[in-house]
Amino acid sequence: MVYLVLIILFLGIVIQYHIRKSETNKINKTKENLNGVLFSYKEIWYIGGHPLVDVREVKGGVLHICFDKIVYLNNINALLNPLKPIFEIPMESIVVSAVETKESLTVSRILLTGILAFALKKNESYVRIEFNNELGSVSNVILSPNNNVLASQIVAAINKGKVDCLKNTQETVVVQ
């Protein structure tokens, strides 16, 4: 009986390893198909804000920051069809990218800790990308990474991509 349990546990670990390896291979294939990927981030949640994307259709996703654009694929798309993004935002249309915070005070935290709950507020960080959209107006896409440090890294990567894009645009204008 003990051997059977050990065999089942071993098989579960092997299967989980192969699933993660397959996901990583598909994300790497997507990077190869996208031109000039600077950074990729997994487990980024789309909260809303893009005028052409229905929030209900997107769960978690993968964010690729390229030289000329930001590409977001939801988890299902990233694995099944890595070439069809949920949305793309060209670098030249980005106005601002910033880390925004929201303090949350949940009922469970109040019940568990009582008056100390006010001292233990949870700060959640979001990435806000303000851009000029395809419809001619300004939109704010809100993304939620799984931790606060990652939010800062994403904003820094977007800003780096934006600077690189501006440099390439200026060089192209000067050369022509």
Residue 114, CA distances (Å) to 40, 108, 117 in order: 40, 10, 6
2-175 CATH pick, 2.30.29.30, 3.50.50.60, 3.10.450.350, 2.40.50.100: 2.30.29.30
Closest to 85 in 3D by CA, of 95, 76, 96, 94: 76
52 pLDDT more than 50: yes
Q: What pLDDT is recorded for position 119?
A: 60
Residue ranges per structural domain of the chain: 2-175
More confident: 172 or 3: 3
How far from chain centre, in Å, is Cα 83? 16
Q: What pLDDT is recorded for position 1?
A: 76
- CB-CB neighbours of 84 under 10 Å: 10
**Which tens digit of pLDDT belongs to each residue from 110-154?**
555 565 655 655 667 889 999 998 888 999 998 988 777 899 999
pLDDT mean over 12-26: 69
Share of the chain above pLDDT 90, in %: 14
Mean per-residue pLDDT over the chain, rounded: 77
How far from chain centre, in Å, is Cα 68? 17
**Which tens digit of pLDDT belongs to each residue from 75-115?**
765 555 556 788 999 999 999 998 887 765 455 555 555 65
Query: 7-16, 30-39, 114-123: which range is least confident on average?
Result: 114-123
Q: What pLDDT is recorded for position 113?
A: 58
Query: 12-16, 35-39, 171-175: which range is least confident on average?
Result: 171-175
Q: What pLDDT is recorded for position 95?
A: 92
174 pLDDT more than 60: no
Decide if 136 contacts 52 (C-beta within 8 A). Answer: no
Q: What pLDDT is recorded for position 14?
A: 81
More confident: 27 or 39: 39
Decide if 63 contacts 87 (C-beta within 8 A). Answer: no
